[in-house]
Structure 1
Amino acid sequence: MTADEIPRPPPRLGTHGLALDDFRLVRAVAAAKGLAGAAAELAINHSTAFRRLGQLEQTLGCKLFERHRTGYELTQAGEEMAQIAARMEEDAAAFVRKVEGKSLSPAGELRVATNDGLMTPLTPIFAAFSKRFPQIRLDVVLGNAALNLSRRDADVAIRATERPPDTLVGRRIATIAWAVYGRREDFADIAPDDPARFAGRSWVGLGEDLAAIKPARFVRAQAAADQVIYRVNAVAGLIDAVVQGIGIGPLPCVAGDSNPALLRLTEPQQDISGTLWLLTHADLRQAARVRAFMDFVGNELTRLRPLLEGAVPRPGRSPAPAAPDGLA
């Protein structure tokens, strides 16, 4: 074995011989409340995490965690170390953002966070962007969970929100309109202004994971519990459920009005609408790849504003009629 092949220990800090990885370990164990989750987060095996934590506590001469049947709980010393680890992580992320913010070439990986319900208009835009900027690799992350752009969960977010965080900058794109839709063939013999079109209809809604968002609350307000026969934890799944005729339900107009198999049964519902934003972290806004994406995608989405806001009449569709019992 040559000198270059001899494994080198991680860099140590101070007189106690602490390593940067020691802080990462404590933070990971605290977040996971156990070794198994921490080991998975750090891409090490369970026995390595167990050994390293034991060695760290021995080096420091104090316990960092209390071991309980319900999980690992931080001691006071562990809490202080976890807080230092969090600050170190934030400082490192801020440094990377500032360095990347000075990049001059529109190239490299760009992580974009958005919702699955927006992919109908976004996929063609992403395809055009990739053709225009072939040196930028897109990594699209779908979901409704809260993201921290400061920690680089994503570089850019395309999300519906009423209050973007103060640390983010960007542009307001449009109002995201939602309306109630049904499968067109199920309403072939019913006049569009017939109040009976809602009578006895089954509904589809969003699952418990999304119970707090506006469309889920809307269905609970409009339909009795036994009328909601199908729930799914993704807007794309909700769209598919209505297309398959499982029931009627609220959908984003940009998806519903683009699908000839669907019939809009109401005007856009104000109780469900949201505001679409294109956002990035302030430190990244001057990065060439971020600037290219924000400009290109922002302009393309702005052109789609009438469709996003439910203002584009569909061929062959009568104007959406008034609906009974509070539906408009």
Structure 2
Amino acid sequence: MAPLLPEFKRLYPGICIELVATSGFLNLNKREADMAILLEKPNKGLLVTQKLTDYSLYLYTHQSLVETSKPKTLQELSQFNLVSYVPDLVYAPQLKFIEETALAQLSPLRSTSINAQYQMLINGAGVGILPIFIAEANEGLVRLLDNNIHIKRTFWLATHKETHSQARFQAFTKWLLEKVEASRARFVG
């Protein structure tokens, strides 16, 4: 979202935007944030939620690691490190996707940050599962075994009921939904 925010600010210069990227949840009910994009739909509190978009995750590696031979089976991945999350520090069940695959036997290289994982992968650290909108923005990453490893998740947009109808939130929500719709192909593949 960060690259898109300058456009919103040009359209609405009077609206203050503070982008907080956190690996935990800010409590909208306690007004720790005005609006949130979440991995899980909140099921309690005074919130208005709506589906923002589905997104796909696939297995990727750097092209330099597969120049001579691209793995065609899960067994052929045994030579690779697995770049993934630190299991005990995963803050949302939606990020526990290694358990949904047969990759757990690979030698791990872990981080709590998706950005750190991305940096490891573009520098040839091994294989890892990334959202399509992150991985395919870099031409150096190659998708592997997409018939075997394809995970779908959803982003949810949430605001507090008391602020949801305010003009600034309505303007941002409308703009964000338009941006997501215009680039839907970047999220699902």
TM score, norm. by length of structure 1: 0.52
Note closer, same or farther for the CA distance 1:165–1:261 as it changes in structure 2 (3 Å cut).
farther
2:35 counterpart residue number: 156
Report SS of the residue matched to 1:177.
strand
Q: Deviation per CA, 1:304-326, whole angstroms, max 9, x where unpaired?
A: 222111x2xxxxxxxxxxxxxxx
Larger strand share, 1 or 2: 2
Note closer, same or farther for the CA distance 1:305–1:165 as it changes in structure 2 (3 Å cut).
farther
C-alpha contact 1:183 1:262 (8 A) present in aligned 2:
yes
- 1:141 equivalent to 2:1? Answer no
Q: Distance in 1 between matches of 2:91 and 2:175?
A: 33
Q: Distance in 1 between matches of 2:81 and 2:177?
A: 38
Q: Which amino acid aligns with 2:126?
A: G
Q: Deviation per CA, 1:94-138, whole angstroms, max 9, x where unpaired?
A: xxxxxxxxxxxxxxxxxxxxxxxxxxxx12221211111111121
C-alpha contact 1:173 1:276 (8 A) present in aligned 2:
yes
2:66 counterpart residue number: 187
Q: Distance in 1 between matches of 2:74 and 2:143?
A: 14
Among all aligned residue pairs of Structure 1 and Structure 2, give the percentage whose two residues are the same amino acid.
Answer: 23
Q: Which one of 222, 229, 234 corresponds to residue 103 of structure 2?
A: 222
Root-mean-square deviation (CA, aligned residues, Å) is 2.4
- Shifted more, 137-146 versus 187-196: the winner is 187-196
Q: Which amino acid aligns with 1:265?
A: L
2:125 counterpart residue number: 246
Q: Which amino acid aligns with 1:134?
A: P
Q: Which one of 258, 275, 294 corresponds to residue 173 of structure 2?
A: 294
Higher relative contact order (CA 8 A, sep 6+): 2
C-alpha contact 1:161 1:274 (8 A) present in aligned 2:
no
1:168 counterpart residue number: 47
Q: Which one of 210, 213, 225 corresponds to residue 90 of structure 2?
A: 210
Q: Deviation per CA, 1:261-295, whole angstroms, max 9, x where unpaired?
A: 1111132845x432111221111112121111111
Report SS of the residue matched to 1:127.
helix
C-alpha contact 2:72 2:145 (8 A) present in aligned 1:
no
Specify the structure having the higher radius of gyration (Cα): 1
Q: Which amino acid aligns with 2:57?
A: W
1:55 counterpart residue number: none
List alignment gaps of at least 5 residues for structure 2. none
1:237 counterpart residue number: 116
Please state how far the C-alpha of 1:165 moved relative to its aligned partner: 3.7
- 1:178 equivalent to 2:57? Answer yes
Q: Which amino acid aligns with 1:306?
A: A
